Amino acid sequence: MDFIEWCNNNMGFASLLLSALTLFVSALAIIVSLHTAKLPYKKNILISTGSYISSDGIGIHVTATNIGNRKVKIRKMGILIDNIVYVDKNALINGHFDLNQGDETSHYFRLDELKKLTEANKIHSAKRMMAFAEDTEGKKYKKNIGRVDNIINLN
């Protein structure tokens, strides 16, 4: 009973509290609407890696999957070792790769070629090997594969 009387005597405090609550809800609504408006323009690429065995030998594949909400063009895709990007030879000929929502593309790298690359460039075996993709807007996507000596000595 005392609380109701106090609120009746202090109408300014109740108005201030309700105004602050209204401002908070309005700000929250603006943030949610801005986030919702950005969703159709969101781009994101998932990089995944794995090994493969074929008649040519053993190797590593790098796969880029568009998990965003718009089309993405891949400019470069390959393996990054100590700031050196090793790109598939066929990728240089084909140029850009268009990935619609949910599409993916893969590139395959033979271990013997990677071994020659590391020996020719005198790359230390403790360096990190990363899967790498770059879109046409310049955003780079990387995923750690492992150390060079662990990957090269798979066979």
Where exactly are the structural domains of the chain?
2-39, 45-152
CA–CA separation, 144 and 155 (whole Å): 20
Q: Higher model confidence: residue 92 or residue 111?
A: 111
What is the predicted pLDDT for the residue at 10? 76
DSSP state for residue 121 in the 8-state scheme: T
Percentage of the chain modeled with pLDDT above 90: 26
What pLDDT, on the 0 to 100 scale, is given for residue 126?
A: 84
**Structural tokens at position 136:** 């046409």
What is the distance in angstroms between the CA of the first residue and the CA of the last residue of the chain?
A: 82
Residue 22 confidence (pLDDT): 96
Q: What is the pLDDT of residues 7-43, one digit of tens each?
A: 777 777 778 888 999 999 999 999 999 988 887 888 8
CATH topology of domain 45-152: Immunoglobulin-like (2.60.40)
Question: What's the pTM?
Answer: 0.70
88 or 68, higher pLDDT = 68
The distance between the two most distant Cα atoms of the chain, rounded to a whole number of Å, is 88
Residue 116: exposed, middle, or buried by beta-carbon count in 10 A (0-12, 13-18, 19+)? exposed
